[in-house]
Amino acid sequence: MKTTSAKICKPVGIAALIVSGAVLLTACGSGSGQKTRLGGGMIGATQKSNASAPLIAALDGGVIGRDAGLAIGRADRQRALEAEYRALEAAPGGQPVVWEGSAVSGSVVSAAPYQVGSQNCRQYSHTVTIKGKQSVERGAACRNADGSWTPLN
């Protein structure tokens, strides 16, 4: 997926700019075959400010929201959804974005982007591990002009 500096530098507000910068810096710092970790650090700071809330809300609960039997707390669900966004937005195809919560962890792996009309879309899987038991959900989403991702379902 190509992004241009013109798209990134649109006046979208300082909070959105900070989140975008954090996502791009994380993508630049991750080499091929490496796992990208989520939890604490710079991403934790953006979660506290709720700057990414509109982008996360557009995922409509993500693929983990479809599993009614998946009992995870609000903070852990936020980490999971942030990982879904980062995997869709910035991670190279096949590279896991790993997140860790209080008693739960997971990883999101997106495939290479493909075009549907004028939108970039990606398929992805999200594996959540609770007390040693794994649950895998799969989905696809397309990127909107504002940087949010809309699930295809």
Domain assignment present for residue 90? The answer is yes
The residue range of the domain holding 94 is 53-151
According to DSSP, residue 102 is labeled S
110, 102, 103, 104: which is closest to 36 by C-alpha?
110
Domain assignment present for residue 128? The answer is yes
Cα distances from 55 to residues 19, 71, 131, in angstroms, run 10, 23, 29
* pLDDT tens string 51-79: 567 777 777 778 777 666 678 888 998 89
149, 152, 153, 151: which is closest to 54 by C-alpha?
149
| Number of domains present in the structure of the chain | 1
Task: Say what the pTM is.
Answer: 0.66
Cα distances from 118 to residues 115, 143, 146, 147, in angstroms, run 7, 10, 14, 14
Domain assignment present for residue 125? The answer is yes
Domain assignment present for residue 74? The answer is yes
Rounded-to-integer distance, Cα 74 and Cα 76, Å:
6
pLDDT category of residue 7 using cuts at 50, 70 and 90: very low
Domain assignment present for residue 110? The answer is yes
Domain assignment present for residue 132? The answer is yes
* pLDDT tens string 140-150: 999 999 999 99
Asked if residue 83 lies in contact with residue 107, where contact means CB atoms within 8 angstroms, the answer is yes
Domain assignment present for residue 30? The answer is no
